[in-house]
Amino acid sequence: MALAVLFISFILLMFLGMPIAFVMGLSSLITIIYLGLPPLVIFQRMSSSMNVFALMAIPFFIYAGELMLRGAIAERLIRLAAALVGHTRGGLGLVNVMSSTLFGGISGSAVADASAVGGLMIPQMTKRGYDVDYAVNVTVMSAIIALLIPPSHNMIIYSISAGGSISIADLFTAGILPGILLALALMITAYIVALRRGYPAEKFPGFAALGRIFIVSVPGLLLVAVIIGGVRSGVFTATESSMIATIYALLVTLLVYRSLSWKDFVHATLGAVRTTALVLLVIGTAGAFGWLMALLQVPAVTIEFMRHFSNNSLVIFLMINVLLLFLGTFMDMAPLIIISTPIFLPVVKAYGMDPVHFGIIMILNQGIGLITPPVGSVLFVGCAIGKISIMQSMRTIWPFFLVSLIVLAIITYVPEVSLFLPRVLGK
Amino acid sequence: MLTVANYSYLMGKLAKAALWISGTGLVVMTIAIAWQVFGRFVLNDTPAWTEPLSLVLMLYFILLTAAVGIREHFHLGMDFFQNIASESTQQLMARISNLMVGFFGLTMLWWGGQLTAQTWSVKIPVLGLPEGISYLPLPLSGTLIFLFSIEQIINPAARKNLAPVSTTAE
């Protein structure tokens, strides 16, 4: 009964359009009052879910991303991608995917990726004769790559939701190959669609120009190495590496590119504070909500239910993927990770799946959820930039969508794609 | 005299103050962790106060800025049903939502305040500050959330988006 109170109040408040962080807080509060337990517990849980040292990496990675965004680093990466793949047919589509991959290594955020790359690429593509729906679709789908290429603050959220026992360094390295796989799959799709629509090719700038462009983008690209190297080697904690990433981003934009004004700095700082508040408030109230679900034994009941359904691990993994995709259509990533990890992780573990592997599946799965309406923040950003309706984009997005689902299936059923790199690089 | 316009003006100042305090908090936090790394590698002496201090700062800036989010509409929610509803239903749903958020702010003030008071005599290890310091942002933020929700309800001019949509959340 208490569970019904929790879910019904949750769904009603969510449908009302109330911000999700407050929906989770208020429905937890209603349920705890219904249970006759002291409401103080909810606020204590909320505070303790945010009062975690490892979470401090999130504001730092977001801050580093904001600084890079204001400091015009995205432009340089796009120029590099253009020099590398722009000369194929439909080249700008490929440039778009590659830019997202490179920029994803800096921001770790799909919405940031879509707005940075999309903001520059969509107008350019339409000017060069590409249809705007194609430009938007390529932008939003390839933005998911940013979630897989480290750093990815969602992986930190996953690690913490799993009880902090999963190494963030392993998760970061595990995301690299799946990220590249997704990038390749999307580039091939973008190429095929471009061929069928007869889009033009750009001119190859020549190797000398390519070299020059590469050298200019090195400081930005190095950031990825700094982050992975720092976390992987164990010299720094994830939080310390993220702080170093912030200071590095500040130094590069300030001293090397000289593209960061005081105004940019203030914008970047306040922007980082806003985004952190948004993400971490959700973590706080989702922490209280998740605690209540555990108290009401939702994880145990779910395992029982799934066992009842099938004993085949392949079927279980498929069911979990479908369920997560469904939940992802109307919930955002961070709360979904916090709520669903404690429920599904014990299930997949019981079927022999590595927690790092499951983390990568979860990130890609819920990344796809960011493209699906009714709640799809990345899709909304892309459509807003391209000034087209969600429907216009949805009508032609299916080849990209299908390919992402195929990549999700490959990543789910071929654990090596995720686990090879962490094992090879492992201590 | 306290008119709606005056109230909004006051809320604007309050939101700006909360944002700037938060931004400063983030910068101080960056410096503190930088100092920690510097201490460990250069001075061979890892300062113990940097982590707990940064955590407390983070709690303040999350919760203060989260309250500002009510004013700037940057929190994510499912607006699907609002979007397909008629104009008047949409307004009704939004106002009920504002009321609920404001109510949650009040509960944060009430129970968060109790938590703060109960833990004030306990000291945070290393920092030596009262443990209640880390709960204090709950009632502070709750107050702001309540005040900003009132503004949404009484002032139609405050309902439009004030800030650019968050760019790095996911």
| Alpha carbon A15 to chain centroid, angstroms | 24
DSSP string over A221-252: HHHHHHHHHHHHHTSS-HHHHHHHHHHHHHHI
d(CA B66, CA A54): 20
A374 in contact with B, Cβ within 8 Å: yes
Work out the angle between the directed axes of helices B4-41 and B50-72 (0-180°, nearest 10).
Answer: 150
Q: How far is B1 from chain A (nearest CA, A)?
A: 32
Cβ <8 Å between A59 and B97: no
Test A39 with B107 for CB contact under 8 angstroms: yes
- In tens digits, chain B (170 residues) has pLDDT values of 678 888 888 888 999 999 999 999 999 999 999 999 888 888 888 888 888 999 999 999 999 999 999 988 888 777 778 878 888 888 898 899 999 999 999 999 999 999 999 988 888 877 788 888 999 999 999 999 999 999 988 888 877 754 444 444 44
- A220 near A252, Cβ under 8 Å? yes
Any CB–CB contact under 8 A between A271 and chain B? yes
> Which residues in chain A land under pLDDT 50?
none
Residue A19: what are its φ and ψ, rounded to 5°? -55, 140
Whether residue B22 lies within 8 A of chain A, CB to CB, comes out as yes
CB contact under 8 A, B169 and A59: no
Angle of helix A153-161 relative to helix A333-350, nearest 10 degrees, comes to 50
Q: Is B119 an 8 Å CB contact of chain A?
A: no
In sequence order, what E strands does A308-426 have? none
The pLDDT value recorded for residue A124 is: 84
* CB proximity A239 to B under 8 Å: yes
Segment A214-236, tens digit of pLDDT: 888 888 778 777 777 777 777 78
Closest approach of A82 to chain B, Cα-based (Å): 24
Structure tokens at A162: 């799993």
pLDDT, position B84: 83
Using the Cβ of A240 and the Cβ atoms of chain B, whether some distance falls under 8 Å is answered with yes
pLDDT of residue B165: 42
Residue type, position B88, single letter = S
The C-alpha of B94 sits at a distance from chain A's nearest C-alpha, in angstroms, of 7
Residue A26 has its nearest CB partner, among B64, B94, B104, at B104
Find the radius of gyration of the CA atoms of chain A: 21
A122-159 CB burial, b ≥16 within 10 A, e <16 = beebbeeebbbbbbbbbbbbbbbbbbbbbbbbbbbbbb
Q: For chain A, say whether B93 makes contact (Cβ under 8 Å).
A: yes
Other beta carbons less than 10 A from residue A209's beta carbon = 12
C-alpha A281/C-alpha B76 separation (Å) is 11
Judging contacts by C-beta atoms under 8 Å, the chain B residues touching residue A26 are 100, 103-104
pLDDT of residue A296: 86
Chain A residues in contact with B103 by the CB 8 A cut-off are 26
* Closest chain B C-alpha to A49 CA, distance in angstroms: 10
B89 touches A at CB < 8 Å = no
Q: What's the confidence (pLDDT) of residue B167?
A: 41
Own/partner contacts of A203-208, CB < 8 Å, gap of 24 or more, are A203/A86, A203/A87, A204/A86, A204/A87, A205/A83
Nearest CB neighbour to A51, from listed B55, B94, B166: B55
What is the distance in angstroms between the Cα of B43 and the nearest Cα belonging to chain A? 16
Are the Cβ atoms of B77 and A18 closer than 8 angstroms? Answer: yes
Q: What angle do CA A78, A273, A264 make, to 5 degrees?
A: 50
Q: Measuring CA to CA, which residue among B97, B150, B67 is closest to residue A14?
A: B97
Is B144 an interface residue toward A (CB < 8 Å)? no
pLDDT of residue A427: 52
Query: Quick one: pLDDT at residue B136?
Result: 94
Contact between chains at B166 and A278 (C-beta distance less than 8 A): yes
pLDDT in tens, A240-277: 888 888 898 888 888 887 878 888 889 889 988 988 88
> What residue type is assigned to position A4 of the chain?
A
Residue carrying structure tokens 């008047």: B88
